[in-house]
Amino acid sequence: MSGSGNVVVRTVVGVVLRVVLAGCLLAVSAVVSGCGGGGRTLVVLGPWTGGEEKPFLKVLDAVGERTGHRYVYQGTRSLRETLVAQLQAGAPPDVAVLNNLGDLVEYARDGAARPLPEGVAGSAVKPWAPRVQVTDGSGTTRENAYWVPVRIDLKSLVWSRSPPVTSPSSWCLGMASEATSGWPGTDWIEDLLLQRRGAQVYQDWATGRLAWSGPEVRGAWQEWADLLTPESAADALSTSFEDIGGGRYGLLNRGTACAREHQGSFIRRHYGNEVLPYPTALFVHGRAARQTAFEVSGDMAAVFKESDDAWRLVRELTSEEARRDWVAAARPQEQPLFPGGSIAGTRPPTPGTRTVQALLDGADRICFDASDAMPPTLRDAFSRAVLEFLAAPHDSANLTRLLKQLDKESEFQREDGAFQLDDLCDRPHAGGAGG
């Protein structure tokens, strides 16, 4: 079976599994809603599963000791599907931690996500939590913040064994990620556009004001194609972005000829001290280049079942105390990053974590992940286009067709008013933790 065929099979299987999982989580919500005890029981939906969720569970336990409430955590890789199923069933979580601004805007417009009250809104720092205009049933339009970042990641990074391999060589590529296959490729396009054209062009494109088929965006796709060989592009379609089999992770650990990987700061959990992050500009502009703009992403908390207890949980999750608990519970190579700078822990961070934090602190400009900020249907079309592009990366006619399709989808979303965000870039937040 071809690489693209494998992706399709995995996608179909993934959809079936997600439907089953969503049903299971709905059952959990129903059971939890009837729980008794001294304090309230609140449900928290989030993106961390397996070993990743353990530090966050310890944070929730510590918050529970302070509030007297019990928190039941539901972790899933299929956040959108799970939350939509819960909303349709009338059983949403009290708080959901999501990583797509486009989805959050949609929930705000639908009234599912609740606007932040005074006392919580101060934690809605840019570019992770821009304000959203929402029109209610009476036709009144209000602008509010609806979510706050609880953890962040730095993108615009290339991982390599030291010293970095900057001469032309094969890149480690893995596009497969269950139903969201293709997103490592959208990161490539976004980062190349940001580094070559700057923050304003990047922002105009991500917010629907710049054509996909124009020379700026098309140039990013073409530059990515120039970095790829037909063999590496085809192999990427059926290769996981992190799982290399046999209980091993990290594309640089595959034992193949690839020597560097373009990936966000979360990937450091799979590497030892011999693999370090370097700014993308080093590989795009040359050894002497200084990177001034970085792409970032984040995990944002929003309230879907409004109560004073839910808002207190959001305040707790953005407090310095909770952040210290999180750092203390995490392994050194998984210590989380937060808006406003690092939090000291009892165990020193790894060299990779220190380097990531230094790059983030020294950035002149940070811009939120473009595809994560796009309307969901456009984001999905972008990911699919990446997969089709990799099947023939040097086919100019194929690229023209894909970009015209994306222009049409973007135009449709503009007409529907789905582009609600217009400010995705900012200076790194200089303040401390919220709370």
Look up residue 32 and give its amino acid: V
Q: What is the mean pLDDT of residues 70-92?
A: 96
Question: Which pLDDT score, from 0 to 100, does residue 343 have?
Answer: 78
Question: Which pLDDT score, from 0 to 100, does residue 37 have?
Answer: 46
The pLDDT tens digits of the residues spanning 29-43 come to: 444 444 444 579 999
Question: Which pLDDT score, from 0 to 100, does residue 429 have?
Answer: 60
CA atoms of 93 and 215, how far apart (whole Å): 44
Average pLDDT of the chain is 88
CA atoms of 192 and 290, how far apart (whole Å): 15
Instruction: Tell me the percentage of the chain whose pLDDT exceeds 90.
Output: 74
Its pTM stands at 0.88
Q: What is the mean pLDDT of residues 47-59?
A: 94
The pLDDT tens digits of the residues spanning 311-324 come to: 999 999 999 999 99
- Which pLDDT band, with edges at 50, 70 and 90, does 157 fall under? very high
Phi, psi of 307 (to 5 degrees): -165, 160
Question: Which pLDDT score, from 0 to 100, does residue 289 have?
Answer: 59
39-53, 232-246, 338-352, 367-381, range with the lowest pLDDT: 338-352
The CATH architecture assigned to 3-152+298-342 reads 3-Layer(aba) Sandwich (3.40)
**Full 3-state SS string of 336-398:** CECCCCCCCCCCCCCHHHHHHHHHHHCCCEEEECHHHHCCHHHHHHHHHHHHHHHHCCCCHHH
Look up residue 359 and give its amino acid: L
Q: What is the mean pLDDT of residues 370-382?
A: 97
Cis-peptide into 127, omega within 30 deg: yes
Question: Which pLDDT score, from 0 to 100, does residue 312 have?
Answer: 98
Q: What is the mean pLDDT of residues 127-137?
A: 90
- Which pLDDT band, with edges at 50, 70 and 90, does 292 fall under? confident
Given a cut of 60, is residue 10 above it in pLDDT? Answer: no
The CATH architecture assigned to 153-295+369-415 reads 3-Layer(aba) Sandwich (3.40)
Question: Which pLDDT score, from 0 to 100, does residue 255 have?
Answer: 82
To which residue do tokens 């990053």 refer?
337
DSSP-assigned letters across all residues of 281-329: HHHHT-TT----EEEEEEEEEEESS--HHHHHHHHHHTSHHHHHHHHHH
Cis-peptide into 279, omega within 30 deg: no
Residue among 99, 43, 41 at smallest CA distance from 70: 41
Question: Which pLDDT score, from 0 to 100, does residue 38 have?
Answer: 55
Q: What is the mean pLDDT of residues 334-360?
A: 88
Tokens (6 digits) for 225: 């194609």
Question: Which pLDDT score, from 0 to 100, does residue 140 have?
Answer: 87
Q: What is the mean pLDDT of residues 419-425?
A: 93
Q: What is the mean pLDDT of residues 132-156?
A: 92
Instruction: Tell me the percentage of the chain whose pLDDT exceeds 70.
Output: 88
Domain locations in the chain?
A: 3-152+298-342, 153-295+369-415
Check residues 346 and 210 and name the one with the higher pLDDT.
Answer: 210
Question: Which pLDDT score, from 0 to 100, does residue 428 have?
Answer: 83
Q: What is the mean pLDDT of residues 320-339?
A: 94
Given a cut of 70, is residue 434 above it in pLDDT? Answer: no
C-beta of residue 161 within 8 angstroms of C-beta of residue 252: yes
Q: What is the mean pLDDT of residues 236-257?
A: 92
Q: What is the mean pLDDT of residues 429-435?
A: 42
CA atoms of 101 and 369, how far apart (whole Å): 9
Asked if the domains 3-152+298-342 and 153-295+369-415 are classified in one and the same CATH topology, the answer is: yes
- Which pLDDT band, with edges at 50, 70 and 90, does 6 fall under? very low
